[in-house]
């Protein structure tokens, strides 16, 4: 317990029905454990990078 990650919003901005050049991800992260925060900060960009390359 004590770790939370919330995706607050995801948006392809103003483009609909087309894969946009840019997207916006707003998130919130809370944890009492610094190691968990460090892990999330490292993994989020990696996950996004792997997702967009798929």
Average pLDDT of adjacent 10-residue blocks, the chain of 54 residues: 68 73 77 84 87 80
- The SS3 of residue 11 is strand
Residue written as tokens 């916006």?
24
Q: What is the pLDDT of residue 3?
A: 66
Q: What is the pLDDT of residue 15?
A: 64
Q: What is the pTM of this model?
A: 0.55
How crowded is residue 4: how many other Cβ atoms within 10 Å of its Cβ? 10
Q: Tell me the HSE value of 26 on the side-chain side, using a 13 A CA sphere.
A: 6
Q: What is the pLDDT of residue 10?
A: 74
Q: What is the pLDDT of residue 6?
A: 74
């Amino acid at each position: 317990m004590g770790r939370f990650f919330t995706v607050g919003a995801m948006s392809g901005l103003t483009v609909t029905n087309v894969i946009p050049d840019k997207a916006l991800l707003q998130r919130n992260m809370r944890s009492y454990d610094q190691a968990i925060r460090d892990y999330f900060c490292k993994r989020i960009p990696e996950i996004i990078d792997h997702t967009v390359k798929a």
